[in-house]
Structure 1
Amino acid sequence: MRKTLIEFISRIRDFLVEKFRAYDHKLPYIIFVLISLLVVVGSINLFIELTETLKTEMLAGIDQQVTDYVLSFRSPALTDFFIFMTHAGDIYGYLIVLTLYLLISRLIFKRWKFVILSTLVLALATGSNMILKRFINRARPGIEHMVSVETLSYPSGHAMSAMAFYGFLIYLCTKFRINRLLKTAIIVLLSFIILSIGISRIYLGVHFPSDIAGGFIAGLIWVVFCILIFNLIEIFRSDPRT
């Protein structure tokens, strides 16, 4: 029985290899595109579900509990750290990071492509965040704000931009041919920056935790969507018939 099963599986494998032999070079892209589509659709559904529960008592209770927990850690040192991180998530912070990124890309990788793509993802996230804020129209938390804010609350622009920009950098980092230990360190650092920027907005009293969750989800949608588009472009570029 076992031998028969192994032979059956082998025949299926051989059949699939034979049928898709002409598409072997595209198969990784096709698989990635399908997975990306599933993630985008799932994330959009999750964002909609979260948005629909913004005015419920259950979410209000969760927001309050998480906020109280985060605020319980307030101290002068942590306040300085989170103010620094929240400024790193402002436009001037991104200008500094993009300048450094531009220099690294020019001197080390000698390509402008990665900087352009990252800037595009950041611009899409920032522009769509302003639209979402106006459409959803959620007020800021009614507690002390430790930094000045002028826009609406949901979704968090800092969280959304951080996830979109640094999340896309994490994706690019996985494609770079560099030392594995260095690559892991960079990914951990970028993940820490994303998380710290998000938490800073709760700590400083300018966002509900659900604002941060919504921003992270919306930013992730842009990351995966842009990766999906860029991989589709690679598929067409690699096709000799196009």
Structure 2
Amino acid sequence: MKDMSKIAIFTLIGGFIIIVLTMSLFIELAGDVLEDEKFYADRIFQEYIVFAEGDWFYQMMGLVTEAGSVLFLMVASVILAVYLFFAKKSKWYSLFFSINMIGISLLTQVLKLIFERERPELIAQYGGTGFSFPSGHSTGSIAFYGFIVYLLWKTVSTKWLKWFSVLFFVLLAISIAFSRVVLGVHFFTDIVAGMSLGVAWLIICIIVLEFLLWRDRKKRNS
């Protein structure tokens, strides 16, 4: 720790704080779901945010949600993992991106089976099948696009391009999660829980990755 910069140490502390906060939120929601609690937020969002199938916003969200589908994320993840393997000097990037995506997928599926929460509506067209809690589109999108944000933040040197790219992918991940409520295939609390879990898992993977990269740099310089 004494060889780390102050910025790195504060970033590490901030990461752990976010992990604690997001996991606390997930655990709180998970406990209420297990007790079959009815959430006021779910009812409000079901009444005012779910749109009719013929509405233009519904159709637009139907397109947005595909960017978080299992098929899209699987294909995109394989492409990015292969790219990182050959493009980055360190193979840790490719390895931990793979751990990030495979891990969040397994976590999501196991948790769905544990909680067995029924969806508000089953719509196979938009991947709205199976159990509801947590939202797989939310966990997967946060993990995938969050890792892209991490890579962009580290590699893009032009300030305006860096901020534009980061903002774009952050908003895309949030929009994908939000689309699940608009389409009526998830409760709002499924989305919040999925995003919380995704953020916590993503940060854990990045912290371990950064530690291994720091250790490699230290070895080279010693």
- Report the TM-score when normalising by structure 1: 0.77
Please give the root-mean-square deviation of Cα atoms over the aligned residues, in Å: 2.9
Q: Deviations over 1:168-214 (max 9, x none)?
A: 21122111142111111111110121112111111111100000000
| Structure 2: gaps of 5 or more residues | none
1:40-73 C-alpha deviation (Å, 9 max, x unpaired): 122212211111223324x1x2201112221258
1:90 to 54, 62, 69: 69
In the TM superposition, 1:1-242 aligns within 5 A as 23-54=2-33, 55-57=36-38, 59=39, 61-72=40-51, 75-98=54-77, 101=80, 114-141=93-120, 143=121, 145=123, 147-240=126-219
1:27 CA drift (Å): 4.1
Instruction: Answer whether contact 2:82 2:94 (CA < 8 A) is retained.
Output: no
One-letter code aligned to 2:215: F
Take 1:43 and 1:231, find their aligned partners in 2: how far apart are those partners?
20
Query: Counterparts of 1:155 and 1:166 in 2: how far apart (Å)?
Result: 18
Q: Percent identity?
A: 23
Q: How many residues align?
A: 218
Structure 1 Cα separation of the partners of residues 218 and 175 of structure 2:
42
Distance in 1, matches of 2:17 and 2:58, equals 39
- Name the CA distance, whole Å, in 1 between partners of 2:205 and 2:127: 32
2:122–2:128: 8 Å Cα contact kept in structure 1?
Answer: no
Cα deviation for residue 80 of structure 1 reads: 2.5
Q: Deviations over 1:122-153 (max 9, x none)?
A: 11111100011111111111x46363533210
- CA shift digits 1:207-239 (9 cap, x unpaired): 000000000000001111111211222343344
Aligned partners of 1:29 and 1:232 also within 8 Å = no
Shift of 1:28: 3.6
In the superposition, the TM-score normalised over structure 2's length comes to 0.83
